[in-house]
């Protein structure tokens, strides 16, 4: 498998006033195409920070991040926004659906940034809602759906643009066991059936088991024992 994500010698320092908060130090990580990777580690170890850098919503203090051949640290803000819309599918812990939009409209939202025709949009939205099993809930607003259902809408929104990489920050962190299981199965299916590359942060060992490989982050550094299965 070729390498899809190359994180090279990346450091990230946050500043609170004049105080430096070093979060990541010279971190390197390769994610092969088609991988389903879990990132674990104690709270504050920098997992979210790493995901933010890979997904292009934050910039490294030093180092480079190359995804599918693009060095995203070199893109300007507008280019980066466009790049995200085409390459990254986000799944958030708290779903982050737009409360005033229906399930259908939430899923359609990322397609507003494409040139697809109305008909093509409709086909795609209905297609992914079908995959996540919510065809009968299209017109429901987020607050009319359970947490698990909302997260499935969010997954539909993450894949509707057919992104290069799916990023999940504790996607099951707010869900009960059963719903979490459904979400993990869905992600597993996206990985196997639709060949999606997934990087997921989780605190749940059970969730990490679904992934092919789990990496551990501690104090901004990756542990060497990548336990690939």
Partner 1 sequence: MKIPISYNWRNLWTRRLTTVLTVVGISLVVFVFAAVLMLSQGVTETMVATGSEDNVIIIRKGSNSELASSIMRDQIDLISTFPELARNKDNQPYGTGDVVTMINLSKKGSKDMGNIIIRGISSSAFELRPQVSLVNGRWFKPGQMEVVVGNRIAEGFENIELNGQIEIGSKKWTVVGIMDAGKTGFASEIWTDAELILNEFNRQNAFSSFTFRLANMKDFEIIKTKIENEKRLQELEVKQEQKFYLEQSEMMAGFIKGLGLVITIIFSFGAMIGAMITMYAAVANRTVEIGTLRALGFPRRSILTAFLIEAMALSLIGAAAGLALASLLGFVSFSTTNFGTFSELAFGFSLSPEIIGYTFLFAIVMGIFGGFLPAVRASKMNIVNSLRAGG
**Partner that binds at residue 85, options partner 1, ligand ATP, Mg ion, none, CB closer than 5 to 8 Å by kind:** partner 1
User: From the list 33, 58, 188, 221, which residue makes contact with partner 1 (rule: CB under 8 A)?
Assistant: 58
Binding mask 144-163 for partner 1 (x = CB under 8 A): -------------x------
Which of the ranges 22-30, 31-39, 74-82, 123-131 carries the binding residues for partner 1, by CB under 8 A? 74-82
Mark out the alpha helices in 160-223 (DSSP H runs). 177-193, 205-210
Of residues 48 and 70, the one with the C-beta less far from Mg ion: 48
Q: Are strands 221-222 and 213-218 parallel, antiparallel or unpaired?
A: antiparallel
Q: Record the tokens describing residue 88, joined without a space.
A: 């990254």
**Partner that binds at residue 16, options Mg ion, partner 1, ligand ATP, none, CB closer than 5 to 8 Å by kind:** ligand ATP
Contact assessment for residue 196 and residue 37, using Cβ atoms and an 8 Å cutoff: no
Residue 149: C-alpha distances to residues 37, 136, 194 (Å): 23, 11, 21
**Partner that binds at residue 152, options partner 1, ligand ATP, Mg ion, none, CB closer than 5 to 8 Å by kind:** none
Q: Name residues contacting partner 1, limited to 93-122 (CB under 8 A).
A: 93-94, 96, 98-101, 105, 109-110, 112-113
Which of the ranges 47-55, 70-78, 104-112, 127-135 carries the binding residues for Mg ion, by CB under 5 A? 47-55
Of residues 8 and 48, the one with the C-beta less far from Mg ion: 48
Q: Record the tokens describing residue 62, joined without a space.
A: 């030093």
Give me the sheet containing 36-40, strands edge to edge.
88-91, 165-169, 197-201, 36-40, 213-218, 221-222
Residue 153: C-alpha distances to residues 45, 124, 126, 143, 146 (Å): 29, 13, 11, 12, 11
User: From the list 81, 116, 138, 213, which residue makes contact with partner 1 (rule: CB under 8 A)?
Assistant: 81
Which of the ranges 12-20, 21-29, 41-49, 124-132 carries the binding residues for Mg ion, by CB under 5 A? 41-49
Other Cβ atoms less than 10 A from the Cβ of 136: the count is: 8
Residues 185 and 190: their CA atoms lie apart, in Å, by 9
Residues that bind partner 1 (CB under 8 A): 52, 55, 57-58, 77-78, 81-86, 90, 92-94, 96, 98-101, 105, 109-110, 112-113, 157
């Amino acid at each position: 498998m070729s390498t899809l994500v190359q994180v090279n010698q990346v450091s990230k320092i946050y500043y609170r006033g004049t105080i430096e908060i070093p979060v990541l130090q010279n971190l390197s990580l390769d994610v092969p195409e088609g991988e389903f990777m879990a990132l674990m580690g104690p709270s504050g170890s920098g997992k979210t920070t790493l995901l933010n850098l890979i997904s292009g919503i934050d910039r490294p203090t030093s180092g480079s991040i190359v995804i599918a051949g693009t060095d995203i640290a070199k893109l300007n803000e507008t280019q980066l926004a466009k790049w995200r819309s085409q390459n990254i599918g986000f799944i958030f812990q708290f779903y982050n659906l737009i409360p005033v939009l229906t399930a259908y409209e939430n899923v359609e939202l990322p397609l507003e940034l494409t040139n697809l025709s109305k008909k093509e949009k409709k086909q795609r939205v209905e297609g992914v809602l079908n995959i996540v099993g919510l065809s009968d809930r299209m017109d429901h607003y987020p607050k009319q759906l359970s947490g698990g259902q909302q997260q499935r809408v969010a997954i539909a929104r993450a894949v509707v643009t057919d992104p290069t990489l799916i990023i999940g920050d504790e996607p099951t962190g707010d869900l009960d066991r059963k719903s979490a299981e459904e979400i993990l199965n869905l992600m597993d299916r996206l990985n196997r059936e639709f060949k999606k590359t997934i990087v997921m942060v989780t605190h749940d060992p059970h969730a990490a088991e679904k992934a092919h490989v789990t990496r551990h982050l501690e104090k901004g550094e990756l542990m060497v024992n990548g336990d690939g299965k």
